Homo-oligomer: A and B are copies of this chain.
Amino acid sequence: MDYEIFELGDVRLQGGATLRGCRLAYKTFGTLNAAKDNVIVYPTWYSGQHYENEWLVGPGMALDPAKYFIIIPNMLGNGLSSSPSNTPEPYNGPRFPKVTACDNVRVQHRLVTEKFGISRIRMVTGWSMGALQTFHWGALYPDMVERIAPFCGSAKCSRHNFVFLEGVKAALTADAAFAGGWYTEKPNIGLRAMARVYAGWGFSQSFYREQLDLKTLGYSSLEDFLVAFWEGFFLPKDANNLLTMLWTWQHGDISDNELYHGDFRKALGAIKARAYVMPGETDLYFPPADSEFEVANMPNAKLIPVPSIWGHFAGGPGTNPVDVKFIDDKLKELLAS
């Protein structure tokens, strides 16, 4: 086991349920300095676990463990932190409560403050749902977070993004083996269907036109890419975990809490952190237009589209080295500012 567990006890969630014996799995890199001012928080993305964030961490990179104390908290529902798959009865499986991005960031805040005694964060950054949590850090703890760098993500799930996820969910749950979440065997057909639905969204039209699945990623045919990359990606994952995180994603909104009462502009305006908001230029479910709105309503933010035809995968998980370098350079710039 290459990660730690922070025991949170009973956690009351936004939706009203209490997650008893809630556990937050996390991994750290580097050393917390005496001043406790070298902290970077780097949340995980949809279905990802901490080790799938490590492509952006390393010597010479912006997230350099020689300089920074980097905390990667695993999202609730991702199979390592409390999740449908690892929670005992009666809150197991499809009874696992609805968890918001706000809930996630609040338990991460407890880790950062209670476990490590940290009061200032140099930067929060993340890809996709990691970006959603990054925005939440900025809006929920504006006096604590100095910089945020959300990439290929948004502060609020757009209506179109919501619909895209409805399609993913419908494909997964169309499999009779899913059985309302009470499956006894993995719903393979649904997981494979979900993967094929996702395939069209994850990469851009230009990515497929240029055959980067073959020419750059090295798959032997389009069907090989669909099976080996996409189905292979989702098949090992637990369906209820995926649906828990999908709900979190669909209901992501930095203003949906008692601080902002649904006033999205107000929540954006409250983010004091210096922000680099980096949408992927060809991202089909986090289009740059949504980021433009966010940046226009944030007091200290800069819009930096990632010039890439890799669609959503311009942002991760380390899939395209050119995009990794672009993002890493921008993170260095932001950290130096």
Contact between chains at B209 and A197 (CB < 8 Å): no
The 8 Å CB contact of A170, one of B197, B205, B206, is B197
Q: Is the C-beta of A88 less than 8 angstroms from some C-beta in chain B?
A: no
The 8 Å CB contact of A200, one of B164, B177, B190, is B164
The 8 Å CB contact of A167, one of B159, B169, B200, is B200
Q: Is the C-beta of A303 less than 8 angstroms from some C-beta in chain B?
A: no
A208 to B289, CA, bound (A): 12
Contact between chains at A167 and B198 (CB < 8 Å): yes
Interface size for A (C-beta < 8 A) is 43
Q: Is the C-beta of A160 less than 8 angstroms from some C-beta in chain B?
A: yes
Contact between chains at A287 and B171 (CB < 8 Å): no
A287 to B174, CA, bound (A): 29
Q: Is the C-beta of A23 less than 8 angstroms from some C-beta in chain B?
A: no
Contact between chains at A199 and B167 (CB < 8 Å): yes
Task: Tell me the A29-48 residues at the B interface (CB within 8 Å).
Answer: none
Instruction: Write the nearest CB–CB distance from A265 to chain B, whole angstroms.
Output: 15
SS class, residues of chain A in contact with chain B: helix
Quick one: copies of this chain in the complex?
A: 2
Q: Is the C-beta of A158 less than 8 angstroms from some C-beta in chain B?
A: yes
Contact between chains at A205 and B171 (CB < 8 Å): no
Knowing A171-B193, A171-B197, A175-B176, say if A166 contacts B226 (CB, 8 Å): yes
Task: Tell me the A159-192 residues at the B interface (CB within 8 Å).
Answer: 159-160, 162-164, 166-171, 173-177, 189-190, 192
Which residue on B lies nearest to A203, using beta carbons? B160
21 pairs across A/B with beta carbons < 8 Å?
Answer: A159-B208, A160-B200, A160-B203, A160-B207, A160-B208, A163-B208, A163-B222, A166-B196, A166-B199, A167-B171, A167-B198, A168-B197, A169-B196, A170-B192, A170-B193, A173-B193, A193-B193, A197-B197, A205-B285, A206-B289, A284-B284
* Nearest 3 pairs of A and B residues by beta carbon: A167-B197, A170-B193, A160-B208
- Known contacts A159-B222, A174-B190; 5 additional CB pairs below 8 A are A160-B200, A170-B197, A176-B176, A205-B284, A205-B285
